[in-house]
Amino acid sequence: MSLSVPLLCGCSASTEIDKLMIVSGLSIDGTDTYQITSQIVNLQDANQNKLSPILLETEGTTIADAMSALAQLEGQKLYFTHAQTILISSERLKNGEASHLIDLLNMAPRFRSSIRLAATVDSAKEILQTEPHTDPISSFSIRDSLVECYRMLKAPDVPFYVFLNDTLESGIDGVLPLITVDDSGDTALPYVCGTALFKDAVMVNTITTEETKYLLLAKEKVSNAIFTTDTHSFLINTGKSNKKYKNGVMTFEIKLELSLIEGEKSDDKTLEQMVSDDIETGIMTLIDKLKALDCDPIGIGRCIKRQSPKYWAEVYPYQWSQVYSQLEIRTDIKVSIVPSPKLAEKEN
């Protein structure tokens, strides 16, 4: 019994930390074959207080092929647990690559479920090759950038487990942030340019950062985020999105408490009305576009499923596309603008 303890507890899995190749990020490209690029942290330069990335490229007919080729490349064990981002080219995602990726990440216990996923407009490898100023390891920088973009309501922040849930659950479709390379300056840098929309794990279209703002407001609770209109910028103190389905009508109840950051201060009521109109228009326009794509990243179907399960059982899956395209949607947006603490202090 006692002797079996070391055998059962996985102690044979121990490895010296310096014998590992720490993978910080992955990119998946290719059309017919899979081209996987791994970004590995080069620890040899660490003694000069500098971390630098090494890119290793492999190719295979399946993801598993390419990954096993990667493991043989350097002779050392690849360590994926601290990988921060996986970038997949739009080209692959349009071919339904997301389902393969889900299978891979689900089966490989070495990946964290909080690893960030992103779609790339062009080559995913190009994004990994960029050298951001803030962090020489671009995967880390991209992860930080995605978190920050979510705070600016420019792109969704999608850990793997969220994408997995949204993709596999009926009544909602997954989304991923969309990244491209901005080479307008001296150095090519990754740039978040919108959101990739999915339908049944296949990328169907993209929306801009402006549209993403309304998608996030309609979809989830947001707080401490920055909301901008054409003329003003606000800090969202609290933002609640409540979806109600009653008598065949879907109503979005959105309550926002904002603090004005920038822009001409006017009568609060006028400003509140202006923001409310802006959000209503933005959401309705976005929903029309999503209906046309038969794509539901907001989770309207999930709301109906939870609030009216019998009706959902009747319409899903065969009639749902038709029901969704004809669903009457209303908005009930309540905006309150409170002075920021500094402004309040000044006024007093």
Q: H-type helices in the chain, by residue range?
A: 4-8, 63-74, 90-94, 97-107, 124-129, 138-151, 160-168, 209-219, 268-293, 300-307, 309-315, 320-326, 341-347
Residues facing 88 on adjacent strands: 28, 119
Cα separation of 95 and 61, whole Å? 14
47 touches other proteins (CB under 8 A)? yes
Q: Which of 84, 89, 145, 167 binds other proteins (CB under 8 A)?
A: 84
Buried b (16+ CB within 10 A) or exposed e, 136-166: bbbbbbbbebbeebbeebbbbbbebebbbeb
- State the nearest-atom distance from the C-beta of 18 to other proteins, in Å: 4
Cβ-Cβ contacts under 8 Å for 229 (sequence gap 6 or more): 263, 274, 275, 278
Among the listed ranges 10-18, 263-271, 273-281, 303-311, the one in contact with other proteins (CB under 8 A) is 10-18
Backbone φ and ψ for 190, nearest 5 degrees, come out as -70, 145
Strands (E), 208-316: 225-228, 233-246, 249-262
Shortest Å, Cβ 17 to other proteins: 5
SS3 (DSSP) at 236: strand
> In the stretch 106-125, what mask flags binding to other proteins with x, by CB under 8 A?
------x-------------
160 binds other proteins (CB under 8 A): no
Sequence-ordered list of residues with C-beta below 8 angstroms from that of 257, at least 6 positions apart, any chain:
236, 237, 238, 239, 336, 337, 338
User: Of 84 and 195, which has the nearer Cβ to other proteins?
Assistant: 84
Taking CB under 8 A as the rule, does residue 309 contact other proteins?
A: no
**Residue 54 vs 274, nearer CB to other proteins:** 54
CA distance 56 to 38: 5
Query: Rule CB under 8 A: is residue 15 a binding residue for other proteins?
Result: yes
Give the range of 3-11, 181-189, 212-220, 274-282 binding other proteins by CB under 8 A: 3-11
Asked if 59 contacts 35 with a C-beta cutoff of 8 angstroms, the reply is: yes
The two beta strands, 20-29 and 77-79, are parallel
At closest approach, how far in Å is the CB of 119 from other proteins? 23
Decide: is 54 part of the binding site for other proteins (CB under 8 A).
no
Residue 143 or 199 having the CB closest to other proteins: 143
Residues 35 and 29: beta-carbon distance below 8 Å: yes
Closer Cβ to other proteins, 24 or 90, answer by number:
24
Q: Does 5 bind other proteins (CB under 8 A)?
A: yes
CB of 137 to other proteins, least distance (A): 9
Least CB distance from residue 51 to other proteins, whole Å? 6
Please say which residue, 43 or 73, places its beta carbon nearer to other proteins.
43
d(CA 160, CA 84): 11
Task: Mark 120-159 with x for binding to other proteins (rule: CB under 8 A) and - for no binding.
Answer: --------------------x-------------------
Residue 18 engages other proteins in binding (rule: CB under 8 A): yes
Among the listed residues 26, 41, 93, 158, the single contact to other proteins using CB under 8 A: 41
Chain residues that interact with other proteins, rule: CB under 8 A: 5-6, 9-11, 13-18, 20, 22, 24, 41, 43-44, 46-47, 51, 79, 81-82, 84, 112, 140
